[in-house]
Amino acid sequence: MNAALRLRDLPLGFRVGLTGVLGAIVLGLWASLSHLEEHHRNRDGQPGVSVDDLVGAYHGLDNPAPLVVALERGHPETQPAANRRLLLSWLRSDKVGENFDNPDLGDSAPAEVLARDCLACHARKATSGEGIGQKLPLEYWDDVEKVAFSRKLDATPEAILITSTHTHALSMAVLSCVLMFLAWSTRFAPRLKSGLALLLGLGLACDFAGWWLARESASFIWLVIVGGGAWAVGALLACLLALAELWLPRRG
């Protein structure tokens, strides 16, 4: 690259225009991150964006309710079989919240069954259970709600993933090339600029590879997380280097 090719040497009007373009790119990065958060959050029923949200989107998620898991493995051992069947039937229904303490169910209401069979250990002030009542209380609906719902998420259909890959891979690859060129046309150390290019190129490749590999194994979701994060950091740094070069005083 010709050492004389520096963004600072461009005419004033060109530098002003390029500053506006870089500002738009930074705004676009913010909007993309906001869109990702809005698109993926709460998929797993929990606030915010979690790893499970992303696993659900790219791989699919099938996590049974913790209360179902405990009951199916025979906990508590002293629970009558009829009560266990009643609770499992309730947890697998579509009226988990409505029927928790339904007065029409009388002694068969799940709240009553849990009180009889579980609160000896799972109450906050219980003296049995080695303190499990403090960690996992089951006294009220707010407690039970946290462990009563299964989470099943279907992965994004392949046709939609193909369309999204087609749209984003091409546009983001072109943007990455532009940002690499702009960053290289600055006064900063070649190692810094090469590292930035590595973040952009390798991050982008890992991100899109993760989209598809995660369909086979949820562990590949970390390619999406790490790759996407690396690309975003690289893109922001490239914009900052270019903006600095545009407006810092010329070197003597």
pLDDT digits (tens, 9 = 90+) for 171-180: 999 999 999 9
pLDDT band of residue 252 (cuts 50, 70, 90) is low
Are 21 and 7 a contacting pair, CB within 8 Å?
no
Q: What pTM, to 2 d.p., does this model score? A: 0.76
Q: Which two tokens stand for residue 193?
A: 């600029």
Q: Would the pLDDT of 232 be above 90?
A: yes
Q: Which two tokens stand for residue 131?
A: 């303190």
pLDDT at 46: 60
For residue 222, give the nearest of 54, 43, 56 by alpha carbon.
54
Within 8 A by CB and 6+ apart from 226, the residues are 203, 206
pLDDT digits (tens, 9 = 90+) for 192-209: 999 999 999 999 999 999
Q: Would the pLDDT of 45 be above 60?
A: no
Where does residue 127 rank: exposed (0-12), middle (13-18), buried (19+ CB within 10 A)? exposed
Report, in this order, helix, strand and coil percent for the chain, each rounded to 5: 70, 0, 30
Element (H, E) at 62: strand 61-63
Categorise residue 130: left if φ over 0, alpha if ψ from -120 to 50, beta otherwise. Answer: left
Cis omega (within 30 of 0) on the bond before 76? yes
Mean pLDDT of 48-57: 84
pLDDT at 2: 47
pLDDT digits (tens, 9 = 90+) for 118-138: 999 999 999 898 999 999 999
* Residue recorded with tokens 């990065």: 29
Domain layout of the chain by residue ranges: 7-60+154-247, 65-149
